[in-house]
Amino acid sequence: MRCYLNAMAMVSAMGDSRQAASEQLSSGDAGLTLSDQFSPGQPLPLGIYTGALPRVTLQAPHWHSRNNRMALAALSQIEGAVDDAVGRFGRQRIGVVIGTSTSGIGDSEAHLKQRAATGEIPQEYDYRLQEMGATAAFIAAQLNLAGPVYGISTACSSGAKALASARRLLRAGVCDAVIAGGVDTLCHLTVQGFSALEAVSDTPCNPFSVNRQGINIGEGAGLFLVTREQGPVELAGVGESSDAHHISAPDPSGAGAIRCMQAALMDAGLSPDAIGYVNLHGTATTLNDQMEARAVGEVFGGAVPCSSTKPLTGHTLGAAGALEAAICWLALSDGFLPRHVWDAQPDPELPALNLSAGQRDVQNLEYALSNSFAFGGNNISLILRRT
């Protein structure tokens, strides 16, 4: 049974405009912001969304988080398509699956800071705003939907896993449409946590360079309306693996990454040479880039154009898999290859990859693959097809 990504929405450091994102992905104009908001006294490049976010109108305090406002900004981009789906299928036949890693923790941090200063928890504080399923539940409440609603939190693969889950709900006949994707917003917990792992760079990230120093954290949202009705882009293949090599470090052999890319190709019924673009997980950490270069080289060789788009968005964690699927959706729809932004100094220890220069007007781009590799060896590859 075929599954289509009928409508796409994205919000990130690149903005909330499809045209702006397309131009930045081609030009490589970075949108990261140097800020010490989440690392006092130590400015770091962060993928901050600097635009205005809509106000949450639902009254209950547990809905009032930046994560939900980010989701609402993305949701507004596909509102018409969702309304049409509600009219065709009914509210009980539409599900919501959202990946996240922090949910409303940033808002909890602000409330707990106030408690530390005054001794009192603010009256408006409600611990439910940081539950992992909070944003999925918020979208369902906002739209008055009555289908299955749940969150997925598998670290950096969460958003992509939500799309795989949406496809399963459609194939099982449980839903006729699913709003699926990922939303994550910046907070001290993630910035300081990754800093404690010595994984954060104080300069713009430099994936696959010999000079790479680590990741830049970002925030964003990628949402899709997923149905069985033919749309502009098909979710043609899904491959998942769980190698459990280490709680945070990837398997240096790339075995789990290789398995999930091969599984996605098998699921889509494709040979590797059918893929016209690979969106790399590309975190710019020493170990991830080493593993991924080996894995992509093993599956595809060195010819397929590929890039990491994290220098433009930051690593948006639970939203990354969905946001980067949205980037692939946009590349397929507009016919371009997202530019790989780096210092053009390859690491001689890594297999050579064909890193994209941001070509426009690519006429024969039919399939794109997006990789998401998470802590604990929780891996997923998605294949998208332009219809």
* Cα of 101 vs its chain's centroid, Å: 11
Q: State the pairing for strand pair 177-184/277-279.
A: unpaired
Q: Which amino acid is at 267?
A: D
3-state secondary structure of 19: helix
Calpha distance 46→191 (Å, rounded) = 9
Handedness of CA 128, 376, 69, 214 (dihedral sign): positive
List the beta strands (DSSP E) in 38-124.
44-46, 94-99
Q: What is the largest CA-CA distance in the chain?
A: 62
- Give phi and psi for 373, each to the nearest 5: -120, 120
CA distances from 276 to 229, 309, 320, 356 (A): 24, 16, 21, 11
Say if residues 198 and 170 touch (Cβ distance below 8 Å).
no
Residue 315: active-site member: yes
The catalytic position among 3, 64, 111, 156 is: 156
What are the residues whose beta carbons fall under 8 Å from the beta carbon of 360, sequence distance 6 or more?
26, 335, 336
The catalytic position among 64, 281, 328, 340 is: 281
* Burial track 158-176 (b if 16+ CB lie within 10 A, e otherwise): bbbbbbbbbbebbeeeebb
Q: Which pair of tokens denotes residue 50?
A: 């600097």
Q: Which amino acid is at 11?
A: V
Residue 281: active-site member: yes
The catalytic position among 62, 64, 315, 340 is: 315
Residue 340: active-site member: no
Calpha distance 371→383 (Å, rounded) = 9
The catalytic residues are 156, 281, 315
